Amino acid sequence: MLGGIKGNGPQRVAVLGLDGVPFSLLKQLMGWGVMPRMADAASSGTFVPMRTDLPAISAVAWTSFMTGSSPGEHGIFGFTDLKPGEIGLHLPSFDDIRRPAIWHELPSKRSVIVNLPFTYPARSLNGVLVSGFVAPIFERAVYPEHLIKKLRSLNYRIDVDADKGRQNRRFLVTDLFETFNAHTHCMEDLLVSEPWDLFIGVITGTDRLHHFLFDAALDPGHPFHKDFLEYYRSIDVFIGKFMDLVGSSTRLVLLSDHGFTGLKIQIYLNSILRTLGYLSFHNPGAGSLENFSSESKAFALDPTRIYINRKERFRNGLLGTTEAEEIKGRIKHQLENLRLRDIGIGLFEGLGDLDEHVFEAVLTNEEVYSGENAHLGPDLVIVPRRGFDVKASLNVLSMTARDIFTGMHTHDDAFLLINEKSMHGELDSVQIRDVMKLVREVLH
């Protein structure tokens, strides 16, 4: 249980997020001397590992952070979701969150929010908001509108060009540094030029770096190893500037939204469900939700969510409650007992004993979610094994494949750092939804 502020404690809170940065990697980089300012902050404050909500993706995790609530309460379960009552895709946004963000919960406090994912479209607040990804229309990503001119003068962009990055790693690295500079210059400018009680800034380039080049992190022979370390040196320099600008009397919170690990292979859930006989398509060559056969009993959405085709949930649903629960239990049992050899892992070398389980865990909705919106979540959630990235692509026929990515998300090994050394005992087993308590207890 997080305690309250007593006496003459801090009156402001500054949060710096590093998207997808693992606790274990930070410890390694600090030990190598790559991040001396971060090391100083960790030794003088409280630096602990943290778990995130499932599934371990930014849309869910940052929403849990900004609302201080779980997915079953705030209602966000992925970057994609289902249309109400239909097996059809809906792309949720900031407007779909069912709990207030902290700055709307505390409207008397002035807030400056920069590059926080899942805050598009920007909405009015007492302060400033520059949305993070996904933000397709820049003019709708900024509040108040008069700041657009300033941001353009700083060469601000929401995100790197990942599509070009897939084709050209050198372009990706250059784009990462340029985007990082634009984001940090914006944060520095707003820290000084805007009054604030709460400041939240997020660096998302770390997530992109890890997806494409996580294999460069600890390998001195990798062609991008030096670039990887230089990116983190730049982050460390900014962390120093950030701490200097917010001042020692401000509560400082540094965190990541999920962990990261090396990627060995992708596992495709819908291909597994099809092989097990739960999913079929009207046209086998056209993978889409709209192409599902009416006889399909289950399907998956990215990254690790399985839905049962229930009459009570979908307009043209197939299964009554009793049969749906039976199918859910059967799928859970089958996936829990699925072995590497069952999905063709033997085609790839070095991935482990073929009798090992494919997944770390297969959890039911009731095991993962609670709250008034838990019924909107998936029936089953897969917890991936390290290195085995679970996807729900509809246009992939094989159960396994290798892609160009070298890193994948984890639900554990995120990090949390507070500039108060006395909080170690209060942050045991901390989860990302708990962090907002550290903000509220200062600003209330």
User: Do 189 and 284 reside in the same domain of the chain?
Assistant: no
Amino acid at 435: V
Question: For the chain, what is the total number of helices (H) and then of strands (E)?
Answer: 14, 19
User: How far from each other are the two terminal CA atoms of the chain, in whole angstroms?
Assistant: 17
Task: Name the 3-class secondary structure at 124.
Answer: coil
pLDDT at 283: 74
User: Do 125 and 151 reside in the same domain of the chain?
Assistant: yes
Residue 288 inside a domain? The answer is yes
Tokens encoding 391: 């996807």
pLDDT at 3: 45
- Top pLDDT among 352 and 417 is at 417
User: Do 132 and 214 reside in the same domain of the chain?
Assistant: yes
Query: Tell me: the pLDDT tens digits for 235-264?
Result: 999 999 999 999 989 999 999 999 999 999
- The number of domains in the chain is 2
What is the bridge-based pairing of β-strands 388-391 and 265-268? parallel
Closest CA to 66 of 131, 152, 150: 131
User: Do 323 and 254 reside in the same domain of the chain?
Assistant: no
Domain CATH for 47: 3.40.720.10
pLDDT at 2: 47
Residue 6 inside a domain? The answer is no
Q: 45 with 438: CB under 8 angstroms?
A: no
User: Do 189 and 132 reside in the same domain of the chain?
Assistant: yes
Closest CA to 60 of 79, 88, 73: 79
User: Do 339 and 199 reside in the same domain of the chain?
Assistant: no
User: Do 251 and 283 reside in the same domain of the chain?
Assistant: no
Tell me the average pLDDT across 187-214. 97
What is the bridge-based pairing of β-strands 46-50 and 111-116? unpaired
Residue 118 inside a domain? The answer is yes
User: Do 234 and 275 reside in the same domain of the chain?
Assistant: no
Residue 335 inside a domain? The answer is yes
Q: 347 with 125: CB under 8 angstroms?
A: no
Which contacts of 420-426 are long-range, i.e. CB under 8 A and separated by 24 or more positions?
A: 420/45, 420/46, 420/251, 421/44, 421/45, 421/46, 422/46, 423/45, 423/46, 424/46, 424/48, 426/1, 426/2, 426/3
- Percent of the chain residues topping a pLDDT of 70: 96
User: Do 42 and 191 reside in the same domain of the chain?
Assistant: yes
Query: Tell me: the pLDDT tens digits for 282-337?
Result: 776 556 787 888 899 999 999 999 999 999 999 989 999 999 999 999 999 999 99
Quick check: 1 pLDDT over 50? no
Residue 104 lies in domain: 13-262+408-443
Residue 151 inside a domain? The answer is yes
Query: Tell me: the pLDDT tens digits for 140-179?
Result: 999 999 999 999 998 899 999 988 988 999 999 999 999 9
Residue 2 inside a domain? The answer is no
Tokens encoding 71: 């997915």
Residue 293 inside a domain? The answer is yes
User: Do 188 and 53 reside in the same domain of the chain?
Assistant: yes
pTM: 0.94
**Which residues lie below 8 Å from residue 335, measured CB to CB, with a gap of 6+?**
272, 358, 359, 362, 380, 382
- Top pLDDT among 40 and 163 is at 40
User: Do 231 and 331 reside in the same domain of the chain?
Assistant: no
User: Do 292 and 363 reside in the same domain of the chain?
Assistant: yes
Residue 369 inside a domain? The answer is yes
DSSP assignment, residue 82?
Answer: E
pLDDT at 65: 98
